[in-house]
Amino acid sequence: MTLRFIGKDTTSEHGGCPSVWVDETDSSLVIQGLDVDPSVIAQVETRSPLAPGERVLRLPAHMRAILLEALTDGPAHAD
């Protein structure tokens, strides 16, 4: 598997999360995100139950452009 870095939250206090990557072998997205609280998980599970090994993550709204770039296979950001 080869991951292509797309972008990360530049406002992160730890400098690395959340981040978005594209798996070059199958074009799937790999997302490092923030954990959500149990009430959010409960809302998600009313429509889409979580299977073993699945997790609900949160990305800040200001990262929408980075997600769009990953989805449209636009240019990668520099590290």
Phi, psi of 18 (to 5 degrees): -75, 160
Name the average pLDDT for the chain.
87
16 or 25, greater pLDDT: 25
Letter for the amino acid at 79? D
Average the pLDDT over 30-57 and give the result: 94
Please check the confidence at residue 79 and state whether its pLDDT lies above 50: no
Q: Is the pLDDT of residue 60 over 50?
A: yes
β-partners of residue 34 are: 58
CA distance 12 to 18: 8
Radius of gyration of the chain from its Cα atoms, rounded to whole angstroms: 14
pLDDT at 75 over 80: no
Q: How far apart are CA 60 and CA 50, in angstroms?
A: 21
Segment 38-42 mean pLDDT: 96
Model pTM score = 0.78
* Tokens 């009313």, residue located: 46
